[in-house]
Amino acid sequence: MPDFDISLLRTFASVVDSGGFSRASERVHRTQSTISQQIKKLEEQAGRQLLSRGARSSLLTPDGERMLGYARRILALHDEARNVFTEDLPELVRVGVTEDLAVESLPGLLSPLAQGMGHARLEVRCGLSRQLEQDLSNGLLDVALFRRVESQAIAGPDSWAETLHWVAAPGHGFEQARVLPLILFPHECVLRGHALGQLDAMGRPWRITYTSPNISGILAAVRAGLGVSLLSERMLPGAGLQVLPQEAGLPVLPYASIVLRTGTGTPGPVAVQAQELLRSHMDAWSADSAAGMLQSQARRKRA
């Protein structure tokens, strides 16, 4: 048996609802002969007579009554599916941020964006910088805020410099150890790559004592005295850690920055709004960071 044609089922239901071929032709804007041919074709597909044609009206046969119930259900599901897929699809905005940035005020920052856009879907994913940058280039993210480490300072738009430190728990002399114990993020972290590369370049033996994908785990391990770590200054307030001096014999600190980038495609209006929110957030952080640095320098001079 061939598949039932949706258009034939719709014509069949129109004939029944209209009470005959004449009124159905007016309803669907087709000639009576066309409607008659369509009903005949549907009857051929069903292998049954569906309508008993009279001089003035058409009556349902028992098989026609059964077909009408199925036709209405099929048409209802068909129209529901069609309506769903003809609606404007919501804009999907995929935002990637490094884990240490995400635990601050970013969730609250993006919350109004997620709640106020009825025709948009916001997906925020935390990750390590190398993975985020790769996902952005592969089209898996629309906006990303991640860290870069360079051998020299590089200025550019949507880039905010940050200060890095070698840190340890107060009172621990790990910098004097023959084999330096390290606490690091996994391989996708740019800080890890720099730390290990510089230690190898200077011939300093090392071993990794603790690895964690999140900043809370890293800070807990450093506070517990498991080793030293290379961290951004923004990760340290309230952590109770000791910043190791340059005389500690550890590798020279690199230049680091947080960059805001968008994907290769043309961003939609919500993606642009997300980018503007992140830019404003980082501008405010940069201003606060600069003010805090000036205050710290002033306190050292007075001391």
CB atoms within 10 A of CB 47: 9
Q: Which helix (H) or strand (E) holds 255?
A: strand 255-262
The model scores a pTM over 0.85: no
Residue 119 has pLDDT above 70, yes or no: no
User: Across residues 94-109, what is the average pLDDT?
Assistant: 76
* Inter-helix orientation angle 106-116/269-302, to 10°: 160
Confirm if 244 and 172 have CB atoms less than 8 A apart. Answer: no
Residue carrying structure tokens 């034939």:
8
C-alpha 258/C-alpha 290 separation (Å) is: 15
**Percent of the chain at pLDDT above 70?**
84
Q: Please indicate whether residue 229 or residue 1 has the higher confidence score (pLDDT).
A: 229
Residues 6+ apart with CB under 8 A from 197: none
Q: Which helix (H) or strand (E) holds 209?
A: strand 206-211
- Per-residue confidence band for 42, with pLDDT thresholds at 50, 70 and 90: very high
Tens digit of each residue's pLDDT (9 = 90 or more) over 52-89: 876 456 678 899 899 998 998 999 888 888 877 765 66
C-alpha 231/C-alpha 189 separation (Å) is: 11
Residue 207, phi then psi, degrees to nearest 5? -150, 145
Confirm if 275 and 109 have CB atoms less than 8 A apart. Answer: no
- Per-residue confidence band for 299, with pLDDT thresholds at 50, 70 and 90: very low
- Per-residue confidence band for 114, with pLDDT thresholds at 50, 70 and 90: low
- Per-residue confidence band for 23, with pLDDT thresholds at 50, 70 and 90: confident
C-alpha 274/C-alpha 92 separation (Å) is: 12
Give the lowest-confidence range in 129-133, 158-162, 240-244, 284-288: 284-288
Residues 6+ apart with CB under 8 A from 138: none
pLDDT at residue 240, rounded to an integer: 86
- Token readout for 250 is 């550890």
- Token readout for 68 is 């009408």
166 strand-pairing partners? 230
Residue carrying structure tokens 């000791």:
242
Pairing of strands 91-98, 143-150: parallel
Q: Please indicate whether residue 189 or residue 2 has the higher confidence score (pLDDT).
A: 189
Residue 236 has pLDDT above 90, yes or no: no
Confirm if 165 and 237 have CB atoms less than 8 A apart. Answer: no
- Per-residue confidence band for 105, with pLDDT thresholds at 50, 70 and 90: low
pLDDT at residue 297, rounded to an integer: 42
- Token readout for 205 is 């033996």
- Token readout for 283 is 């501008």
- Per-residue confidence band for 258, with pLDDT thresholds at 50, 70 and 90: very high
Tens digit of each residue's pLDDT (9 = 90 or more) over 158-181: 899 888 999 999 988 777 788 999
DSSP string, 109-159: HHHHHHHH-TTEEEEEEEE-HHHHHHHHHTTS-SEEEEEEEESS----TTE
